[in-house]
């Protein structure tokens, strides 16, 4: 599993004539690969919610998403597992089968909700337009 986390001032996703947006928190681009399971998701969700990437009163990154009562915009993105070493066309062979990945994505979002986090999300398999106002910029990649 791989997530790209971007601290955000305001972000949105548009798909199927629907718009989901957050004001302050993180945007999480989420990809799955073979071997990912509930334990992998638990690790990533715990790490993500408790990463100290938000400024305290002294401007030092000492606060977590939980500390600031921030929101999450969750975006499924199988292209995180693109292989680019050979040729010019990326290979997505390491990306998890869409049917399995959809189930894991749903579980990932459920685990976030269980932590009382305001969650907005994209739709697995849909064409999406994602607008991110990256704050900082702060971008963190976690892979497990």
Catalytic residues: 77-79
CA dihedral 37→33→118→113, nearest 10 degrees, is -10
Closest CA to 22 of 137, 91, 122, 124: 122
If residue 131 lies in a helix (H) or strand (E), which one and from where to where? strand 129-143
Residue 79 structure tokens: 């292209």
Q: Please state, in angstroms and rounded to a whole number, the distance separating the CA atoms of residues 49 and 83.
A: 28
- The CA-atom distances, in angstroms, between 50 and each of 22, 38, 81, 137 are 19, 18, 25, 19
* DSSP code, position 91: B
Q: Nearest Cα to 71, choosing from 8, 122, 140?
A: 8
């Amino acid at each position: 599993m791989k997530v790209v986390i971007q601290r955000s001032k305001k972000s949105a996703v548009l798909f199927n004539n629907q718009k989901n947006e957050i004001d302050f928190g993180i945007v999480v681009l989420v990809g799955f690969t073979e071997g990912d399971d509930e334990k992998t998701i638990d690790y990533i969700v715990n790490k993500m919610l408790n990463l100290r990437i938000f400024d305290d009163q002294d401007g030092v990154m000492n606060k977590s998403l939980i500390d600031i009562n921030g929101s999450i915009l969750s975006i499924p993105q199988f292209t995180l597992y693109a292989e680019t070493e050979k040729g010019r066309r990326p290979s997505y062979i390491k990306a998890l089968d869409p049917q399995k990945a959809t189930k894991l994505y749903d579980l990932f979002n459920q685990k976030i909700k269980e932590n009382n986090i305001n969650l907005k999300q994209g739709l697995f398999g849909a064409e999406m337009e994602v607008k991110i106002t990256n704050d900082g910029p702060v971008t963190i990649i976690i892979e497990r």
